Amino acid sequence: MAENTEKNKTVGIKVIGVGKYVPELIATNEDFTKIVETSDEWITQRTGIKTRHITNGEPTYHLGAMAAKNAIENAGIKAEDIDLIIASTVTADFYTPSAACLIQREIGAIGCMAFDINAACAGFAYAVDMAKRYLQSDDGIKTALVVAAEELSKFTDYTDRSSCVLFGDAAGAFVLTKEEDVPYASFLGADGNGANKVVSRALKVENPFRTSTEEFDMNMPETKAHYFYQDGKEVYKFAIKAMPNAISEACKKAGIEPSELDAIVPHQANVRIIETAAKNLGLPMDKFIVYIDRYGNTSSASIPTAFCDAVEDGKIKRGDKVCVVGFGGGLTYGAVIFEY
C-alpha cells in the first residue's frame, strides 16, 4: 500500500499548533445523582462518562479564544500571522456577531477573514477541510485557525435524566498551514432526512404583520423551549454506520486501508458507538482516541480536545497518519485524514 500512499500524496495541511480549554467547574456522575434519578454505575455503563466540565458563566467565545491562544502559543506564531479563522459551534452566544469575530477580537487577530459554521458534532472535520481548501487556493491565506467551541450546558434540560448526563462544555483549536506532498483525504456528507432526530430550536417567526397561524415545522418534534432533543435509538443506528463508512471512504481516497491509520479521533458521543464502529471496521480499540470519560459529549469540540490530550499523552506523535471523524445533528458526518 506504500506505493498507493505515495500516489495520493498531494496538497494537504500541516498542523503547526494545537490547543484546548475547558472550564474549571467539573460535574461528576455523583453530582447528577443529586438532581435526577440516576447513578454512577448507570451512566458509566451506558455512556463511558465519569466527569464533564461545565461553564460557570464563561461564554462560548471565551472558551474558544482561550483554546485559540493555547494553539497559537503551541504553534510559536503571533495572532497577527493568522489569515483565516473558522469557528465551529452550535452554541454561539449571539446570532451576530459570530463566535469567530469575537474570538478574533479576544486574540488580537484583527483584519483576517472570520466566520462560523454549524455542522453540529461533525463541525470540526468540516472546518478543517474548509480551511485546507482556502489554504490551497493561493489567495494570500497562509495560516488558518480552526476553533471548535461548545457549551452544550446552554441547551441541556437538567430535568431529563436520560440526556442531561451526556453533555459538557469545551473548546479545541488547530493552527494550520499548507503542506505539499503529504497524505490528505476527506469524506463529508449529510442526510437531511434525519434533521428531526437531533434538534434544538432557535427563534420562531413572530412579527406584528403576521396573519397566518400555520406552522411550517417540516415534521420537527415538539421541544421544551430551546432545550436539546434527540431520538437516541435513531442517532445510535445512524452513528454506527456513518462513522465507519466515513473512515473507510476517506481511506479509499487516501489510498490506504483503515488498519494503516496510526490513530482515529472520533466524536466523543458514547463509548458504545465507538466500540461498535471499531468492531465494524475490524480494528482494535487502541487505534481510537477516547477521552469521553473526562469530558462527556462536547459536540464539535470533542475531536480537537481529545486530539490535544492524545498529543500530550504521547498517543499521537509527529508523522502519524490520523483520521478525525464526526457525526451529529443534521444529520452530518465527515472524516479527514492527514499526517500530524
Residues in the chain: 340
Q: 302-312 and 123-135 helices cross at what angle (nearest 10)?
A: 80
154 Cβ contact partners less than 8 Å away, ≥ 6 residues apart: 60, 91
User: For 54, left (φ over 0), alpha (ψ -120 to 50), or beta?
Assistant: beta
Distance (Å, whole) CA 47 – CA 273:
9
User: Does residue 115 contact residue 86 with C-beta atoms inside 8 Å?
Assistant: yes
Annotated catalytic, 62?
A: no
Q: Rounded to 5 degrees, what angle do the CA atoms 102, 292, 17 make?
A: 45
Annotated catalytic, 297?
A: yes
Annotated catalytic, 121?
A: yes
Helix ranges restricted to H, the chain: 2-7, 29-32, 40-47, 60-75, 99-107, 123-135, 232-254, 271-281, 292-295, 302-312
- The SS3 of residue 243 is helix
Catalytic residue among 101, 112, 121, 323: 121
Catalytic residue among 29, 70, 270, 297: 297
Distance (Å, whole) CA 182 – CA 188:
20
Catalytic residue among 29, 164, 267, 270: 267
Catalytic residues: 121, 267, 297
